[in-house]
Amino acid sequence: MAFRTDYEIYDALPISKDALDRGGVELLRAGVVNEELFITARRVFAKPAQWGYVLADITRRLAALYAAESGFAEAKVSTAIADTIARSLRSGASAVRRPAKRASMKPSPPRAKTRAKSEPSIKAVARRKGARAKP
């Protein structure tokens, strides 16, 4: 699988102005570095099966993106993604290398203390301010 690897620094996607203005919570972040998949997720649902709705919506949005930008048929893209997910889950294989440690599906024990929130980088703050700027 070919990935663009000529980025000098990590190239994060911007957060939409609508999301910044209305608030909310980030559920999932995924990135690829040297063909290795990195995932950060937040356990926000009581039942793990609820992630299926999120992943289905992500699939539909990716299909719309490909249809708009590349001329692929939306239904074919959705089917191709869903088929590959099903095949990958059955075989235990992944399109990209897995990180060394895999997260467990067991719920985490409650923490005594809340974690300190990290400060955003200067670049992230500048990008966020730029996203809010009115033309």
Q: What is the pLDDT along the chain (135 residues), one digit of tens a residue?
A: 455 656 778 899 999 899 999 988 999 999 998 889 999 999 999 999 999 999 999 999 999 999 999 989 999 999 999 999 999 999 986 555 454 444 433 444 444 444 444 445 444 444 444 544 444
pTM of the model: 0.61
- Which pLDDT does position 3 carry in this prediction? 53
| Domain ranges across the chain | 47-101
Question: CB–CB of 63/79 below 8 Å?
Answer: no
- Which pLDDT does position 93 carry in this prediction? 63
CA distances from 70 to 64, 82, 83, 104 (A): 10, 19, 20, 37
Residue among 56, 20, 41 at smallest CA distance from 102: 41
Alpha helices in 1-135 (DSSP H): 17-22, 51-70, 74-91, 122-132
